[in-house]
Amino acid sequence: MASVKVTCEVVGEGIEECELSADAAYGDLLSELGLSRHEATVLVDGSPVPADATVAADTVRVLRLIRGG
């Protein structure tokens, strides 16, 4: 299957290049970066995108979440 390359800016950390299958979802991209969907979200054009949506951007920002109790 064809692959796609995505440039990921992990906010506060740095930039990484990810190579994913063409049908990969944003949640798969997080996994590739060693992050779970519970600890980070993907932003496209400044807005969060669902983890189960198919990757459709070649540049994204990955934001680690701030949560606790």
Partner 1 sequence: MRLARPAHDAILAHAREGAPAEVVGVLVGGRGDDDRVTRIERARNAADTPRTRYELDPAEQIRLIDDIEAAGDEVVGFYHSHPRGPEGPSATDAELAAWEGYVYAIVSLADEPSVGAWRWTGERFDRLAVTVE
Interface with partner 1 (CB under 8 A): 11-12, 35, 38-41, 43, 46-48, 61, 63-69
**Given the complex with partner 1, which of 16 and 23 has the nearer CB atom?**
16
Closest separation between CB of residue 57 and partner 1, Å?
Answer: 15
Report helix, strand or coil for 30. helix
Q: Residue 33 contacts by C-beta under 8 Å, 6 or more apart in sequence? A: 8, 10, 16, 18, 40, 62
**Given the complex with partner 1, which of 4 and 63 has the nearer CB atom?**
63
**Given the complex with partner 1, which of 3 and 36 has the nearer CB atom?**
36
